[in-house]
Every structure is written in C-alpha cells, then in structure tokens.
Amino acid sequence: MIREAQEAIREISGDFHKRTVTTSAFFFALLMEQIGQCARKYIHEGREAEGMPEDIMDIIVACLCYLNWLDSDAEKAFDSALEKHRKDIELLVHAR
C-alpha cells in the first residue's frame, strides 16, 4: 500500500521536485509548515478540528515526496520505522 502511494506521488510531482529542489532544506521547510498548520488547528480547535485528518495526510504526502527525491523505498523505510516503533512501545510498556 505504501509503495503504491509513493508511486502515485512520484507520478504527480517526482519529476518536478527532481528539477526544482536542490537541497533537503525545501522538504524540511515544507514539513515544518505542514506540522505548524496542524499545531495551530489543534491549539485553537482541539483534536476534532475540521480537516485535521487531511492536514495530517499532507505531512505524510510531503514525507513521501521527500523519500522520492532521495530515491528511497518508502515501504522499506516504513517497515524499519514500524519495527523501531514496536520496540520503543515494548520498552515503555515494560517500564511501567
């Protein structure tokens, strides 16, 4: 599923980003802007803020754009991150 999402995003913006983005700073700025939008909505409207799910997905889309620009496999990265998350949660559960 992640591989298909990454490919769909690559088809939409992959060539554009390869031609126009020269450093990772672009993606960091994009991610910070998207995260800031979510934070402002949450602060002012709470977790039920209108459009919050789409705003969160905007962050994920930006991450997939970044991975495409890096020529990285999102599915492989996701699997690795998921395993790291599983281990972190297990440590927290056992620490209680």
Give residue-wise pLDDT tens across range 4-27.
999 999 999 999 999 999 999 999
- Helix/strand/coil percent split, the chain, to 5: 85, 0, 15
The reported pLDDT for the residue numbered 78 is: 97
Q: How far apart are the two ends of the chain, measured CA to CA in Å? A: 34
CA 63 to chain CA centroid, Å, is 3
User: What number does CATH give the domain 2-95?
Assistant: 1.10.287.1080
| Residue 55 main-chain phi, psi, to 5 deg | -65, -40
pLDDT above 90 for 96: no
Residue with tokens 């031609």: 19
The reported pLDDT for the residue numbered 1 is: 92
